[in-house]
């Protein structure tokens, strides 16, 4: 029903004239009988110096600027266009136009009859025209931009006289956070104003906002779905998705690789039960799907494309909004990945290299040469040597130069484990295998060392009954946990070490002959420290520098060097390291004297009969390892000391002698003895 223009329009026009022509700044706004929202807009227009009597066309965007606006608002235009079409169908032929503006009031899209767009009444409605209050005065579009509320402005409610012929109904288009996106407007002749027009515009604007919200939600869902799909396809764990009947609905590429399946295996064979893959563990799946019981890190054996493999399985039920189980997700993780992670954080890795073996003696260099060659092979290695000679350093160095350097390095001292526990330590056990067995069982060191090296120290102390099991594992490359009939493949290189003569142990019947020959493929003998005298001083200096955290630059007396070279070092390198640690801890200043040495070393005298002991000093090496050999080492050390001091003092003999604590004549005599010329 059209509004009767009659007295209402005449009254409004009279108020407009009063406001625009006669009103002074001191006039009371409340004296006007105009809607407050219109009156407030008129006041804004007056403050903005809008010319109420101007007949000029609105400011419009140039084509380049218009294209920028259209591009920036393409999403809104695309969604709003169908709703604008629906509105236009209602007002078609009535002289009305349907317009969509941006947040500044510029028209982006407009629909109307061809004659309407050229009609003097609606001629200001075109793409790029600006309908803000600052440009067009009070109008539905401009006032909605300010108030963010729907409004209908008719006839002389418009601030500019040229728009008194119009009736405009506009509503804001907001996003889900209340931010303004644009304005939807329907405008036409003021004589055709209808109370329901604004309601149609508001309904259309709300429909546009609902569609924007739906599209945003759909976009967010697509983003989330793409992320989940990428995670599903790229995660390192295998993932199996099943429905509420335990039927596989989807698997990721990792599972396909594990099982050796083609990319379309399950699509070609729908209805495959997950029990066909998990075997006996399918009871866990039933509990998950029926009772909503999740499970975590359950060990399973899978028949894969590369044979029987060991995995950890975890499962989680999937429920709907009512809590009803609709399916489940099962994760498969190779147990060796978990073991490698545990080994890394528990210190089960090798850090030492061949460069960490200090020494230049022929004996140690030969041991290093053989060990370096052994590192490139896959054969078992037997390290033989007295306690403290550094067998584990050699084992780690071999591991770190091998193609297994990225795997774990696990050391087991066979002599330190009670004989009744060594089997479970090496091979693992199942839950309930014996009294005190951990719940869930425990993997053995062979399993934990998968892909790396297992170092069995003091192998000569292994109980005879466990030697049989060890031999079987080395031959078959498989282990059986105690209390289990399952066979677990292992990929481990074994390096053994002993301070015993294993061949003599074989003769005594305490070590299996077949195991001895299985281990003794590459044998490396690490010499004791007493057989590598020229390495004692370098080792002493190395440990002194390494252990001294305060960088005191110790001055070591000749007597100390004499004693450490003369001493037999029954504890070998380990004993020497301990002695240096004692020196660092107990030396009050920088000077290391005999009082800083343990009494047994400070008072040590090399007995003649001990030198003749062929077990300690082979006769063929007497020239090097006997009294003459020791004297040679001392003289060489003294010669190097004199050369270094002369260099530091730029050839000054007096300063050098004073530093050494000897007279100039004594120094000259020693220089002549060592063929040193200043």
Question: For residue 385, what is the domain's CATH number?
Answer: 3.40.50.300
Q: Has residue 342 been placed in a domain?
A: no
Question: For residue 16, what is the domain's CATH number?
Answer: 3.30.450.40
CB 444 within 8 A of CB 480: no
Residue 317 has pLDDT above 70, yes or no: yes
Q: Has residue 251 been placed in a domain?
A: yes
The answer to whether residues 127 and 171 belong to one domain is yes
Q: Give me 518's structure tokens.
A: 């299985």
The answer to whether residues 325 and 194 belong to one domain is no
Over residues 240-258, mean pLDDT: 87
Q: Has residue 228 been placed in a domain?
A: no
Over residues 175-188, mean pLDDT: 94
Strand locations in 414-480 (E): 428-429, 442-443, 453-457, 478-480
Q: Give the tens place of pLDDT for each residue, 611-622.
A: 434 333 433 333
The answer to whether residues 505 and 638 belong to one domain is no
Higher pLDDT, 183 or 479: 183
The answer to whether residues 354 and 439 belong to one domain is yes
Over residues 285-290, mean pLDDT: 89
Q: Give the tens place of pLDDT for each residue, 92-102.
A: 888 899 999 99
CB 305 within 8 A of CB 298: no
> Which residue from 217, 214, 266 is spatially nearest to 239, judged by alpha carbons?
266
Residue 37 has pLDDT above 70, yes or no: yes
Q: Has residue 227 been placed in a domain?
A: no
Higher pLDDT, 28 or 86: 86
The answer to whether residues 95 and 15 belong to one domain is yes
Q: Which element (helix H / strand E) includes 485?
A: none
Q: How many CA atoms lie within 13 A of 69 on its CB side?
A: 23
Q: What b/e string do you get for 85-113 counting C-beta neighbours within 10 Å, with b at 16 or more? A: eebbeebeeebbbbbbbbbebbbbbbbbb
- Beta bridge mates, 331: 239, 314
Residue 10 has pLDDT above 60, yes or no: yes
Chain centroid offset of residue 65 CA: 47
The answer to whether residues 511 and 614 belong to one domain is no
Question: For residue 602, what is the domain's CATH number?
Answer: 1.10.8.60
User: Of 525, 545, 562, which closes a domain?
Assistant: 525
What pLDDT does residue 609 have?
A: 38
How many domains are contained in the chain? 4
Over residues 137-161, mean pLDDT: 96
In this prediction, residue 163 has a pLDDT band, given cuts at 50, 70 and 90, of very high
Q: Give me 668's structure tokens.
A: 């000259």
The answer to whether residues 300 and 362 belong to one domain is no
User: Of 150, 185, 215, which closes a domain?
Assistant: 215
Mapping DSSP to helix (H, G, I), strand (E, B) and coil, where does residue 515 land?
A: helix
User: Of 525, 548, 576, which closes a domain?
Assistant: 525
Q: Which of 50-54, 333-337, 669-673 has the lowest mean pLDDT?
A: 333-337
Over residues 318-329, mean pLDDT: 91
State the Cα–Cα distance between residues 259 and 525, nearest whole angstrom: 46
Q: Give me 72's structure tokens.
A: 């920036």
Question: Helix 536-547 vs helix 627-648: angle between axes, to the nearest 10 degrees?
Answer: 50
Q: Has residue 606 been placed in a domain?
A: yes
Q: Give the tens place of pLDDT for each residue, 560-583.
A: 888 898 899 999 999 999 999 999
State the Cα–Cα distance between residues 479 and 487, nearest whole angstrom: 6
CB-count burial class (<10 Å; 0-12, 13-18, 19+) for 330: buried
**Strands 166-174 vs 151-154: parallel, antiparallel or unpaired:** antiparallel
Q: Give me 25's structure tokens.
A: 């700044």
Chain centroid offset of residue 55 CA: 68
Residues of the domain holding 422: 347-525
Over residues 7-26, mean pLDDT: 74
CB 162 within 8 A of CB 55: yes
What pLDDT does residue 119 have?
A: 78
The answer to whether residues 170 and 261 belong to one domain is no
Residue 220 has pLDDT above 50, yes or no: yes
State the Cα–Cα distance between residues 579 and 573, nearest whole angstrom: 10
Residue 3 has pLDDT above 80, yes or no: no
Q: Has residue 663 been placed in a domain?
A: yes
Question: For residue 302, what is the domain's CATH number?
Answer: 3.30.450.20
**Phi and psi (nearest 5°) for 272?**
-75, 130
Q: Give the tens place of pLDDT for each residue, 359-368.
A: 989 999 999 9
CB 430 within 8 A of CB 484: yes
Angstrom CA distances, 619 to 213, 386, 568, 608, stand at 96, 20, 16, 14
What pLDDT does residue 342 have?
A: 60
In this prediction, residue 539 has a pLDDT band, given cuts at 50, 70 and 90, of very high
Neighbours of 298 (CB within 10 A): 14
The answer to whether residues 508 and 569 belong to one domain is no
Neighbours of 582 (CB within 10 A): 15
The answer to whether residues 87 and 144 belong to one domain is yes
State the Cα–Cα distance between residues 53 and 57, nearest whole angstrom: 12
Over residues 439-456, mean pLDDT: 86
Q: Has residue 224 been placed in a domain?
A: no
State the Cα–Cα distance between residues 579 and 388, nearest whole angstrom: 13
Q: In the chain, what are the helix, strand and coil shares in percent, each to the nearest 5?
A: 50, 20, 35
CB 443 within 8 A of CB 431: no
What pLDDT does residue 26 have?
A: 44
The answer to whether residues 269 and 368 belong to one domain is no
The answer to whether residues 208 and 252 belong to one domain is no
Q: Give the tens place of pLDDT for each residue, 354-411.
A: 999 999 899 999 999 999 999 999 889 999 999 999 999 999 999 999 998 888 899 9
Q: Has residue 530 been placed in a domain?
A: no
């Amino acid at each position: 029903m059209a509004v009767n223009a009659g007295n209402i329009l005449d009254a409004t026009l009279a108020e407009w004239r009063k406001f625009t022509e006669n009103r002074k700044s001191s006039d009371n706004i409340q004296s006007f009988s105009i809607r407050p929202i219109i009156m407030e807009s008129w006041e804004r227009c007056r403050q903005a110096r809008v010319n109420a009597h101007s007949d000029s066309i609105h400011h419009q965007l140039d084509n380049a600027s218009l294209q920028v606006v259209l591009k920036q608002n393409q999403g809104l235009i695309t969604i709003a266009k169908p709703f604008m079409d629906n509105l236009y169908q209602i007002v078609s032929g009535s002289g009305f136009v349907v317009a969509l503006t941006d947040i500044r009031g510029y028209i982006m899209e407009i629909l109307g009859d061809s004659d309407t767009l050229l009609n003097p009444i609606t001629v200001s409605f075109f793409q790029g025209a600006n309908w803000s209050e600052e440009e067009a005065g009070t109008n539905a579009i401009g006032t909605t931009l300010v108030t963010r509320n729907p409004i209908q402005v008719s006839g002389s409610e418009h601030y500019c006289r040229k728009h008194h012929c119009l009736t405009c109904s506009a509503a804001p288009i907001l996003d889900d956070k209340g931010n303004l996106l644009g304005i939807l407007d329907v405008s036409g002749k003021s004589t055709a104003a209808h109370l329901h027009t604004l309601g149609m515009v508001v309904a259309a604007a709300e429909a546009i906002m609902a569609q924007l919200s739906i599209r945003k939600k759909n976009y967010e869902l697509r983003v989330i779905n793409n992320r989940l799909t990428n995670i599903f396809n790229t995660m390192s764990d295998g993932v199996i998705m099943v429905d509420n009947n335990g039927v596989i609905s989807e698997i990721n590429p990792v599972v396909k690789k594990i099982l050796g399946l083609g990319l379309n295996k399950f699509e070609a064979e729908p209805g495959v039960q997950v029990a066909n893959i998990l075997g006996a563990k399918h009871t866990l799946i039933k509990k998950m799907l029926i009772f909503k019981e999740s499970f975590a890190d359950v060990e399973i054996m899978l028949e894969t494309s590369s044979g029987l493999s060991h995995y950890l399985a975890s499962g989680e039920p999937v429920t709907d909004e009512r809590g009803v189980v609709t399916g489940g997700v099962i994760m498969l993780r190779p147990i060796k990945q978990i073991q490698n992670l545990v080994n890394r954080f528990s210190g089960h890795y090798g850090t030492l290299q061949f460069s960490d073996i200090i020494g230049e003696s022929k004996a140690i260099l030969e041991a290093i040469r053989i060990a370096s060659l052994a590192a490139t092979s896959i054969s078992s290695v037997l390290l033989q040597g007295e306690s403290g000679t550094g067998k584990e350093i050699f084992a780690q160095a071999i591991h770190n130069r091998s193609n297994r350097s990225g795997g774990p390095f696990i050391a087991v001292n066979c002599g330190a484990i009670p004989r009744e526990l060594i089997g479970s330590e090496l091979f693992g056990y199942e839950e309930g295998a014996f009294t005190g067995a951990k719940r869930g069982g425990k993997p053995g060191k062979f399993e934990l060392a998968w892909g790396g090296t297992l170092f069995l120290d003091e192998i000569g102390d292994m109980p005879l009954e466990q030697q049989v099991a060890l031999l079987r594992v080395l031959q078959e490359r498989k282990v059986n946990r105690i209390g289990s009939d399952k066979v677990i493949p292992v990929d481990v290189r074994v390096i053994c070490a002993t301070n015993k003569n294993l061949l003599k142990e074989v003769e005594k019947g305490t070590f299996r002959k077949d195991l001895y020959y299985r281990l003794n493929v590459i044998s490396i003998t690490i010499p004791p420290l007493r057989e590598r005298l020229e390495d004692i001083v370098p080792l002493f200096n190395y440990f002194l520098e390494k252990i001294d955290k305060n960088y005191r630059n110790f001055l070591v007396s000749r007597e100390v060097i004499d004693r450490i070279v003369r001493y037999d070092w029954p504890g070998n390198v380990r004993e020497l390291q301990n002695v240096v640690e004692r020196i660092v801890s107990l030396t009050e200043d920088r000077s290391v004297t005999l009082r800083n040495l343990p009494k047994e070393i400070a008072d040590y005298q090399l007995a003649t009969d001990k030198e003749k002991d062929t077990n300690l000093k082979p006769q063929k090496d007497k020239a090097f390892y006997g009294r003459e050999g020791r004297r040679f080492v001392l003289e060489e050390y003294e010669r190097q000391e004199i050369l270094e001091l002369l260099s530091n003092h730029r050839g000054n003999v007096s300063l050098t002698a004073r530093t050494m604590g000897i007279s100039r004549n004594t120094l000259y005599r020693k220089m002549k003895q060592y063929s040193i010329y200043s």
